[in-house]
């Protein structure tokens, strides 16, 4: 319980990741205080029904936007660790509203960095995505920019100041914007729309995300990009797992999409080290080659970690087990 008696704040705390993070940390750790920072009062109200605040509670709710530096400065007072999960992440919405994506994902990241340094926060982990690697859409580009900012923030904070690192992972099963609800909805019509039958994606569950980020907080030294080793899936296998008896109609890849995602690019591999459970992309100014997070590590130069060439593939049966918790009450069969 390395978070015992610590004060933790999570931006975007009412999102999919934030809710699972709160559930696990409150159940398994003993933080002195866990602050949920978000801009949606309704979602905070709904979350408060599950995790009440007030006398004797370890949780607090703080209305605010990462675009507002003054509000972050108030919220970060006496905070030990910050998890930065707030972002605009819907690809079409970011394409249609580019300046809004920049304000939240880039300028918001700058505000989090400035507030953390000025308030003396010990550690900050920013959540990122495979779409930040060789980005082809604005969302990925803003997350790439945010990654660069958080890594270089270690130079601003100085050797003894706030430590900043990044946790980069793939598509989260059942998160907002996931294809799973769409497939269950389409199942009632008898036709599943698939963009391209060759499409592959990295997949990770919310619980795996949270446990990975907690591990990153515990072992980070500042400047690392942590990438978990996670399985891949093919879109046709997912369609088969959800709606095996439906027609599969190919509609073509959408603007801003890739056929396959990348979590570690070949250029990044020069600075990457491999452990049993993850890859760690070290900052360019690092001189530590022997150990990463206390584990023996091997160099990854020349390696390219992509969803179509991953070592682990999810089978249809495994995918069925993963999507089962998200099945509608009627089984997706309609009326």
**Among positive and negative, which fits the CA dihedral 39, 40, 43, 49?**
positive
Considering the candidates 19, 131, 143, 187, report the single residue annotated as catalytic: 131
User: Which residue matches tokens 């389409």?
Assistant: 186
**C-alpha dihedral, 186 to 171 to 174 to 9, nearest 10°:** -150
10, β-bridge pairs: 36, 83
Structure tokens, 83 = 């998890």
- The residues pairing with 305 across neighbouring beta strands, listed in sequence order, are 264
Structure-block tokens of residue 224? 């690392």
Q: Catalytic residue at 78?
A: no
Q: What are the structure tokens assigned to 74, written together?
A: 């108030």
The whole-angstrom distance between residue 137's C-alpha and the CA centroid of its chain comes to 17
- Measured distance CA(154)–CA(151) in Å, rounded: 6
- Nearest Cα neighbor of 168 from 214, 138, 134, 129 is 129
Helix (H) or strand (E) holding 241: helix 235-242
* Alpha-carbon span 332 to 312, nearest angstrom: 29
Structure tokens at 181: 């609800």
CA 40, 42, 46, 48 torsion: positive or negative?
A: positive
Among 325, 278, 331, which Cα is nearest to 300's?
A: 278
Which residues does the annotation mark as catalytic? 131
């Amino acid at each position: 319980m390395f978070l015992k008696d610590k004060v933790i704040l999570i931006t975007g705390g009412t999102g999919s990741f934030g809710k699972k993070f709160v559930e696990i940390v409150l159940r398994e750790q003993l933080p002195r205080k866990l602050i949920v920072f978000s801009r949606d009062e309704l979602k905070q109200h709904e979350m408060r029904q599950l995790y009440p605040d007030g006398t004797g509670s370890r949780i607090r709710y703080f209305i605010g936007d990462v675009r507002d530096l003054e509000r972050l400065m108030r919220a970060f007072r006496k905070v030990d660790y910050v998890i930065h999960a707030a972002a605009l992440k819907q690809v079409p919405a970011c394409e249609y509203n580019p300046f809004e994506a920049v304000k939240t994902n880039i300028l918001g990241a700058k505000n989090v960095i400035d507030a953390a340094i000025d308030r003396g926060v010990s550690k900050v982990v920013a959540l990122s995505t495979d779409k930040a690697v060789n980005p082809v859409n604005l969302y990925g580009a803003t997350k790439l920019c945010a990654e660069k900012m958080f890594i270089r923030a270690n130079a601003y904070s100085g050797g003894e100041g706030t430590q900043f690192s990044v946790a980069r992972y793939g598509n989260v099963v059942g998160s907002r914007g996931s294809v799973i609800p769409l497939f269950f909805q389409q199942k009632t019509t008898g036709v599943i729309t698939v963009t391209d039958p060759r499409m592959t994606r990295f997949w990770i569950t919310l619980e795996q995300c949270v446990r990975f980020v907690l591990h990153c907080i515990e072992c980070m030294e500042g400047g690392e990009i942590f990438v978990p080793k996670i399985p891949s899936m093919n879109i046709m296998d997912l369609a088969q797992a959800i709606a095996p008896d439906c027609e599969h109609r190919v509609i073509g890849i959408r603007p801003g999409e890739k056929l396959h995602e990348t979590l570690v690019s070949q250029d990044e591999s020069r600075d990457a080290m491999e452990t049993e459970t993850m890859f760690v992309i070290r900052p360019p100014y690092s001189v530590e080659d022997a150990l990463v997070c206390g584990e023996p590590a091997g160099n990854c130069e020349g390696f390219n970690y992509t969803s179509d060439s991953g070592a682990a593939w999810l089978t249809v049966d495994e995918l069925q087990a993963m999507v089962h918790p998200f099945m509608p009450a009627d089984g997706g069969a309609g009326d």
